[in-house]
Amino acid sequence: MIQSACLPCGVRVVTEEMPDARAACIGLWIGAGSAKEEMDQAGISHFIEHMMFKGTETRSAKQIAVDVDDLGASINAFTGKEATCYHIKALSEHFPKAVDILLDMLCNSVFDPVEINKERGVILEEMQMIQDTPDDHIIDLLSQSVLKDSGLAPSIIGTKSSLGRMSRPKMIRYIENHYTRDNIVVSVVGSFDRAALFEQLEWALAPFPEKSLSVPDSDPSPGQRYNSKSKDIGQTHIAIGRQGVSLGSELYYAQAIANDVLGGSMSSRLFQNIREERGLAYSVYSAASSYRRTGMYFIYAGIGCGKEEETLSAIETELSILRREGLDQENIEVVKQRLKSGYVFSLESMNGRMYRLGKNMLLLNRIFTSEEVMADIDAVSLDEVQEICRQIGDFSSYSGVSISRKKLNLKHMMSGMSTTGETQ
């Protein structure tokens, strides 16, 4: 059963107890990601996430690793645009000790300047790894175009310049401003002692500041933008994108249905036409990233050099068909079954359950039961899907980014788009 509660200190906790399970998973969610950062702080949320593993007042970085391994536990963390999450999973009999390790990291990390300098080098290597992986790097570049002028645009990892300016005082100030009781959500799934856990959480989190620093939300600027990068690689990578729906939008599942048909699976139109029938690309897909206030919808293709215009033309054709014809009710019902199957399969993962509960409580301040999710998918109407098809099928609304041996004139190639777009 899923339950939400508020600790006496004000921290929100959402739990799903599974009495027959033999393990439990906990996530400590902070409403601080790259979208909360000022320009000179770019990458600080991610840097702090790394530093939480580098030693506390009573545990060295090595001792954290040893203590986790001795429990047979699994620990990790991630930083996103709107949140940072620290999580650990352990057998139920070891869960209190696992939670103690995680809380020690969150509450007592020392941020040793020597370790900060070492980790700076590690993150610079991580940045280089991303840049050496064009199909990852291009989505970062696309976000900067589609979500320009909003906090969602910059890369989560920051820049070489901003990383060079990171310091212990700057990190401590950021933590004091954003690691606050009103900005923390705890999500827990599995078999655990609820009363004992709540007591443990209250003791550790009550000393945190009460209120977070208010950071005004900024909406992305409208318009189309084109950005082409040259790199000594053997394949051309192209991504086009536009603003999509937010996490709480009534059209969230309608977009998921349209996306599944367009490019979300091996049977999708983009995959079948561009890869299977025409052999233009090894990888081609569409996807969506949804945030609290907005989202990004995008299409990616990794193609052979010289096939760029033909591939873009094929993508434009599929989008035009989607916009003009939409989907019929029979097709929609089939995709609904696929979405529901995917959701049910995701429930087999304890970490996946923890992730859903924590993210929804942090960003939407609510929880969704499995019955509600199924009902929301079933409730999607033909009109809602057709509206989404008209939106994402509008090729002229897309910005474009490419990474290839030679810079491409995307503004010219994407001739169906607005001629008033900016060139970066």
- Could you report the per-residue pLDDT of 310-327, keeping only the tens digit for each? 999 999 999 999 999 999
Tokens encoding 379: 């409730």
Cα–Cα distance between 282 and 26 in angstroms, integer?
A: 38
pLDDT of 142: 97
What is the residue extent of each domain of the chain?
2-205, 225-423
pLDDT of 19: 94
- Answer yes or no: is pLDDT of 107 > 60: yes
Give the confidence band of 302 by pLDDT, cuts at 50, 70, 90: very high
pLDDT of 217: 83
Cα–Cα distance between 317 and 312 in angstroms, integer?
A: 9
Question: Between the CA of residue 383 and those of 244, 269, 295, 379, 380, what are the distances in Å?
Answer: 17, 21, 21, 11, 8
Choose the weakest-confidence range: 14-28, 120-134, 339-353, 403-417.
403-417
CATH topology of domain 2-205: Cytochrome Bc1 Complex; Chain A, domain 1 (3.30.830)
Q: List the catalytic residue out of 16, 49, 115, 384.
A: 49
* pLDDT digits 0-9 by tens, 181-221: 999 999 999 999 999 999 999 999 999 999 998 888 888 99
- Answer yes or no: is pLDDT of 419 > 60: no
Tokens encoding 252: 């969230």
> Coil, helix or strand for 50?
helix
- Answer yes or no: is pLDDT of 395 > 50: yes
> Coil, helix or strand for 75?
strand
pLDDT of 214: 87
Is residue 49 part of the annotated active site? The answer reads yes
Instruction: Rounding to the nearest 10 degrees, give the CA dihedral for residues 214, 215, 217, 218.
Output: 150
Confirm whether 2-205 and 225-423 share one CATH topology.
Answer: yes
Global confidence as pTM: 0.94
pLDDT of 416: 55
Is CATH 3.40.640.10 the right assignment for the domain spanning 225-423?
Answer: no
8 Å CB contact between 389 and 322? yes
**Closest CA relative to residue 360, chosen from 14, 55, 56, 6:** 14
